Amino acid sequence: MNKKIEKLLNDQIEKESSSSQLYLTMASWSENQGYNGTASFLYAHSDEEREHMLKLVKFINERGGEAIIPALEKANVSFDSMEKIFESLLEHEMMVTESINNIVGACLEEKDYSTHNFIQWYVSEQLEEEALARTILDKLRLIGNDKGGLYLFDRDMENSSISADTVSNT
């Protein structure tokens, strides 16, 4: 495996692990605030990010590289509001998208078409992740601080099409 690409993929493993930890922290905060539907969504999202990490680990190892499993870092455990959670989630997903795009560029520079083909799944996934985060933020901004609206939003996060199950087919 190309060493430059291997390093970028290992860096991406760390980002996916960090994503999983961040969403787990968000889920725990949500649950402690009484937003069980949102917590359920975020717990599932955390699991999904771990699956993304595992997919990279297996790919690197199958290609003759060495996947590096990162240590867990403590994530922020407090958020000001539901809107702040999803603003953070969108910012984080945009950073992940930039990282994926850098891998795509490096694959083309290095003429590593196998990895380029593999990473296209992540490109599509990031489009979905960002779109979902924006949709959720739009809904939260419409609701504002209305407690009844937040109650319905939380219930919808668990029961509607805005669920982690519709985000990814991993």
Residues 23-43: tens digit of each pLDDT: 999 999 999 999 999 999 999
Tokens of 96: 């992940």
The residue extents of the domains of the chain are 3-69+78-165
Average pLDDT on 43-66 reads 96
pTM: 0.88
Query: How far is residue 128 from each of residues 12, 98, 117, 135, 145, measured CA to CA in Å?
Result: 18, 14, 18, 10, 27
What pLDDT is recorded for position 78? 79
Task: Classify domain 3-69+78-165 by CATH architecture.
Answer: Up-down Bundle (1.20)
**Closest Cα to residue 86, out of 126, 50, 129, 121?**
129
Binding annotation for Fe cation: 16, 49, 52, 93, 126
Binding annotation: 16, 49, 52, 93, 126
Tokens of 57: 């680990």
What pLDDT is recorded for position 164? 44
Residues 101-139: tens digit of each pLDDT: 999 999 999 999 999 999 999 999 999 999 999 999 999
What pLDDT is recorded for position 112? 97
**Closest Cα to residue 128, out of 93, 161, 104?**
93
Q: Residue 72 pLDDT > 90, yes or no?
A: no
Helix, strand, coil content of the chain in percent (nearest 5):
80, 0, 20
